[in-house]
Chain A
């Protein structure tokens, strides 16, 4: 197998470009995706290669272009819609939820909507409350949507290609702090990562640390710190939030008997709370400690650097808590 190494940002670009070359029905649409090469440069060079038909700059009009893309998907095109920030999807979530997610069911199965909504999600750093929210739980709550949040460049490419080929509407949550991360990945044009499968990032025996997106980096750092105290942590990267890989979570917890979840999102009604509920209902007898969920503080994201740091999950706090769990 031949491989190459590139960044998360370019992996997304490569995934989109390969799928646009492969399938004439695939196109990319969004604000600044074409001539500007993407607000975060995730579509660098694509407009130059594919032109106006396949890489389309839209007006700043999320509700409208999302509905338009969904309509074209119902007819059989396979749009990739970029939100400059997932916070902006609030303007468009009616079409994501009421049109894209529900129409298959409402039509008795005859209308499909093969579409990918992608963009930067959660706290990219110092952009305050209206550009920092983690929407994983919001969209994972909706039947009819798949929700993906890759934590490295390899998975970003493989999962985005899988999402574009999937016939369901897919929410694809990227993270600005990961855009520069470099990983090795196959050059094979049919390389995909299966949707709905978690990955064991690091094996361990004392505690399972479960996370998605950038919080996997936090989890890895926590695990590294715990090693100094002789605690062996297993790190599980969910990769897909919905459908959830329950087997991977439960198998890990049954092995380690302790579970910790890390997320940037607010705790109440979140992915972390749902996973904690799952573990406690399906692996209760295996637990040696209550499941702990570390989340963003329940406040709009502050701008000041010190406050923003305090609002997000803290490695030190998580390490200290796990030490008390593993005595």
Chain B
């Protein structure tokens, strides 16, 4: 598939739409930063995986998905919830283990779901979301829907055997699934190049599944690829793989000091490939948006976030009776 000319693609987005994209990416970033703070304050327990640095992958993907599409991902799932339309309040209340959390305080950091918004979690077994997401694509084919399931996994999960099993069936049965490989360079503390043979976007080749690798730090590049992939999937009744070349600024989880990489390496990505700076520069330099206007958006995002933190920490803990509910359907 030939990529559309990126300048032409950019021009399809109005300034208003791009400001909204910037606002979304800021929401992901600010909530991630706040989550780290709250974790350090002891307000959040357990494992906690942040999305800082990878924002363009989500923003670009969602910009080109349609209502009725499904999304499923790993345990690095907080920003995904926001992207699907879940409020910060419900995410932070879940992170703090409150009754008002999106999963009533029973799922925590790794398990957030909003099926009414097409969001299916939130899965803690590395790679397990891939057959599940392939099954959701199976549903769309079964029902004759013109929708896809965006199934995200990382470079670490990419080596799980069940992914190949799922791809085999997705290809055999022509399932409308978009596999998004978020290659953030490290699977926990192990560099992808140490454990992944070959290219991740070519992992479907043996099954006849096409794929490509794009710059996951650039909103427009991601969005253009997803738009094209979605059209290809539905028109050709074929799955597709997009490998997002991205990077996480924090460790694998909050307990990871990330000593397996240099500070300079992280700093270089922050300075040269930061997804927020790119969209910010585009708005200011190419669209003539005032920096004060963007500052104001940041202020509003931060104010909303503060309100959400207050909501979360002031929410009650789950009632003891909740221990034994939601195990079996009524």
Known: A143-B327, A144-B327. A99 touches B132 (CB 8 A): yes
- Give how many B residues have a beta carbon under 8 Å from the other chain's beta carbons: 44
**What is the CA–CA distance of A243 and B105 in the complex, to the nearest angstrom?**
26
Q: Which of B72, B115, B136, B329 has the most CB of A within 10 A?
A: B329
Cβ contacts under 8 Å, B101 to chain A: 108
Known: A59-B165, A95-B128. A106 touches B135 (CB 8 A): no
Interface assignment of A191: CB less than 8 Å from any CB of chain B: no
Cβ contacts under 8 Å, A167 to chain B: 329
- Which of the segments A61-69, A180-188, A201-209, A221-229 contacts the partner chain? A61-69
Contact present for A63 and B162 (CB under 8 Å): yes
Cβ contacts under 8 Å, A108 to chain B: 101-107, 113, 326
Cβ contacts under 8 Å, B162 to chain A: 63-64, 67
Contact present for B326 and A104 (CB under 8 Å): yes
**What is the CA–CA distance of A66 and B162 in the complex, to the nearest angstrom?**
10
Instruction: Mark contacts of A285-323 with chain B using CB atoms, 8 A cut-off: 1 yes-contact digit, 0 otherwise.
Output: 000000000000000000000000000000000000000
Distance between B34 CB and nearest chain A CB, rounded to angstroms:
22
Distance between B66 CB and nearest chain A CB, rounded to angstroms:
16
Contact present for A107 and B103 (CB under 8 Å): yes
**What is the CA–CA distance of A144 and B326 in the complex, to the nearest angstrom?**
9
Interface assignment of B133: CB less than 8 Å from any CB of chain A: yes
Distance between B260 CB and nearest chain A CB, rounded to angstroms:
28
Q: Which residue of A is nearest B70, CB measured?
A: A75
Interface assignment of B121: CB less than 8 Å from any CB of chain A: yes
Give residues 136-167 of B contacting A (CB, 8 Å). Answer: 136, 138-139, 142, 161-162, 164-166
**What is the CA–CA distance of A103 and B202 in the complex, to the nearest angstrom?**
31
Contact present for B326 and A71 (CB under 8 Å): no
Contact present for A68 and B169 (CB under 8 Å): yes
Contact present for A67 and B132 (CB under 8 Å): yes
Distance between A108 CB and nearest chain B CB, rounded to angstroms:
3
Interface assignment of B120: CB less than 8 Å from any CB of chain A: yes
Known: A75-B70, A106-B107. A98 touches B125 (CB 8 A): yes
Known: A71-B135, A72-B142. A59 touches B172 (CB 8 A): yes
Cβ contacts under 8 Å, B72 to chain A: 71
**What is the CA–CA distance of A78 and B196 in the complex, to the nearest angstrom?**
36
Instruction: Mark contacts of B250-266 with chain A using CB atoms, 8 A cut-off: 1 yes-contact digit, 0 otherwise.
Output: 00000000000000000
**What is the CA–CA distance of A67 and B131 in the complex, to the nearest angstrom?**
5
Instruction: Mark contacts of B4-28 with chain A using CB atoms, 8 A cut-off: 1 yes-contact digit, 0 otherwise.
Output: 0000000000000000000000000
Instruction: Mark contacts of A13-54 with chain B using CB atoms, 8 A cut-off: 1 yes-contact digit, 0 otherwise.
Output: 000000000000001000000000000000000000000010
**What is the CA–CA distance of A114 and B161 in the complex, to the nearest angstrom?**
25
**What is the CA–CA distance of A171 and B129 in the complex, to the nearest angstrom?**
21
Interface assignment of B122: CB less than 8 Å from any CB of chain A: yes
Contact present for A68 and B166 (CB under 8 Å): yes
Interface assignment of A105: CB less than 8 Å from any CB of chain B: yes
Contact present for B327 and A75 (CB under 8 Å): no
Interface assignment of B315: CB less than 8 Å from any CB of chain A: no
Q: Which of B102, B122, B325, B327 has the most CB of A within 10 A?
A: B327
Cβ contacts under 8 Å, A129 to chain B: none
Q: Which residue of B is nearest A243, CB measured?
A: B328
Interface assignment of B134: CB less than 8 Å from any CB of chain A: yes
Contact present for A98 and B142 (CB under 8 Å): no
Interface assignment of A190: CB less than 8 Å from any CB of chain B: no
Select which of B106, B116, B132 is within 8 A of A106 by beta carbon. Answer: B106
Instruction: Mark contacts of A263-285 with chain B using CB atoms, 8 A cut-off: 1 yes-contact digit, 0 otherwise.
Output: 00000000000000000000000
Q: Which residue of A is nearest B151, CB measured?
A: A71
Cβ contacts under 8 Å, B304 to chain A: none
Instruction: Mark contacts of A106-132 with chain B using CB atoms, 8 A cut-off: 1 yes-contact digit, 0 otherwise.
Output: 111111101000000000000000000
Give residues 104-128 of B contacting A (CB, 8 Å). Answer: 104-107, 111, 113-116, 120-125, 128
**What is the CA–CA distance of A70 and B128 in the complex, to the nearest angstrom?**
11
Cβ contacts under 8 Å, B113 to chain A: 103, 106-108, 110-111
**What is the CA–CA distance of A110 and B164 in the complex, to the nearest angstrom?**
29
Contact present for A106 and B111 (CB under 8 Å): yes
Distance between B152 CB and nearest chain A CB, rounded to angstroms:
14
25 inter-chain pairs at a CB distance below 8 angstroms, sorted by A residue, are A59-B168, A64-B131, A64-B164, A64-B169, A65-B131, A67-B165, A71-B72, A71-B138, A71-B139, A72-B138, A77-B138, A94-B128, A99-B132, A105-B106, A107-B111, A107-B115, A107-B121, A108-B103, A108-B106, A108-B107, A108-B113, A111-B113, A143-B327, A167-B329, A168-B329
- For the complex of A and B, the 6 pairs showing the least CB-CB separation, nearest first, are A71-B135, A67-B131, A64-B165, A108-B104, A109-B326, A71-B132
Q: A64-B162, A110-B114 are in contact. List 14 more A-B contacts (CB 8 A).
A: A64-B165, A64-B166, A67-B128, A67-B165, A70-B131, A71-B135, A71-B138, A74-B115, A95-B131, A99-B125, A99-B132, A104-B326, A107-B122, A110-B113
